[in-house]
């Protein structure tokens, strides 16, 4: 209860550092989710609605990547962007941008895989209609996506959920730098390491609250769009 009270206190006193951390968290999660979905949804739809040689293998690969441990993704991105790494000259290590890159590596396979499974089960009807209308393949893809938007929302929200809750990759490539790359999860980990367990729990409450608000907002938007 103490943790909850502390969480409310932090929120309502508009603690400047908390607001800054929330800002970084939202910026990171927004971009990771958006980019992953821009790549993963079309890719998943293609995979779910087409059959070709090697598809079974590709899906196995995808499902493996869906389970990629965040620390491994973090290490890979770290190795790429470290000072002497292939992209070291870009000086992106310990920035929010590289955190987004690491998260996209994690989340894109999840979006692609979930979207492909959904399309496999439900796109048959849409495909038939599209073929009957003689639509070009680009339009078919678009139709599949727009017709399934309510269901794909849960895919997008899982992507967002994975992004906002992830700590392994972002702490490695972001470095948990105060006023710069610290996000909610790395802040929680830091407070835990400091021994401030109840404060850490308070931050956890706030993180859950945000996730809840985002979920409610997203379903509301999709519902509105359906009535248009």
Partner 1 sequence: MKKLLAILLAALLVLSLAACGGNTEPDPSAAPSQSDAASEVTNPTIRLSTTTSVNDSGLLPYLLPVFESETGYKVEVQSAGTGAAIQKAIDGNADLILVHAKASEEEFINGGYGVERLPFMYNFFVIVGPKDDPAGIADCEDAAAAFAKIRESESKFISRGDESGTHKAELKIWGEAAPDAANDSWYISAGQGMGACLTMASEQQAYCLTDKATFLSMEKDLDLGLLLEKGDDMMNTYSLIAVNPEKIDGLNVEGAKALIDWMLSDEASEMIAKYGQEQYGVSLFYLLEK
- Site residues (vs partner 1, CB under 8 A): 1-3, 82-83, 93-94, 171, 175-180, 182, 186-187, 190, 192-198, 201
Specify the residue, 73 or 152, whose C-beta has the smaller distance to partner 1. Answer: 73
Structure tokens at 145: 């996506």
Specify the residue, 122 or 196, whose C-beta has the smaller distance to partner 1. Answer: 196
Contacts of residue 169, Cβ cutoff 8 Å, sequence gap at least 6 = 70, 71, 73, 74, 77, 99, 102, 103, 105, 106
Rounded to the nearest whole angstrom, what is the least distance from the CB of residue 190 to partner 1 in the complex?
4
CA separation for the pair 28, 103 (Å, rounded): 9
CA separation for the pair 160, 125 (Å, rounded): 29
Rounded to the nearest whole angstrom, what is the least distance from the CB of residue 93 to partner 1 in the complex?
6
Rounded to the nearest whole angstrom, what is the least distance from the CB of residue 126 to partner 1 in the complex?
46
The label of the residue with tokens 């390491």 reads 193
Structure tokens at 141: 């893809």
Specify the residue, 81 or 118, whose C-beta has the smaller distance to partner 1. Answer: 81
39 exposed, middle or buried (CB, 10 Å; 0-12, 13-18, 19+)? Answer: middle
Rounded to the nearest whole angstrom, what is the least distance from the CB of residue 214 to partner 1 in the complex?
25
């Amino acid at each position: 209860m103490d943790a909850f009270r502390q969480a409310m206190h932090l929120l309502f006193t508009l603690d400047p550092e908390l607001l800054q951390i929330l800002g970084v968290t939202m910026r990171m999660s927004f971009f990771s989710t958006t980019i992953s979905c821009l790549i993963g949804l079309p890719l998943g739809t293609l995979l779910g609605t087409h059959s070709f040689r090697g598809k079974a293998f590709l899906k196995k690969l995808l499902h493996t990547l869906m389970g990629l441990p965040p620390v491994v993704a973090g290490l890979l991105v770290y190795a790429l962007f470290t000072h002497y790494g292939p992209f070291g000259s870009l000086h992106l290590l310990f920035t929010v941008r590289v955190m987004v890159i690491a998260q996209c590596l994690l989340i894109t396979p999840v979006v692609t895989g979930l979207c492909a499974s959904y399309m496999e089960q439900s796109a048959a009807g849409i495909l038939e209609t599209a073929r009957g209308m003689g639509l070009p393949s680009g339009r078919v893809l678009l139709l599949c996506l727009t017709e399934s938007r309510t269901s794909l929302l849960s895919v997008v929200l899982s992507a967002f959920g994975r992004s906002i809750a992830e700590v392994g990759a972002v702490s490695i490539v972001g470095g948990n730098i105060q006023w710069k790359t610290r996000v909610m999860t790395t802040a929680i980990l830091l407070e835990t390491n400091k021994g401030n367990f109840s404060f850490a729990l308070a931050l956890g409450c706030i993180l859950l609250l945000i996730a809840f608000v985002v979920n409610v907002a997203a379903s509301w938007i999709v519902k509105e769009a359906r009535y248009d």
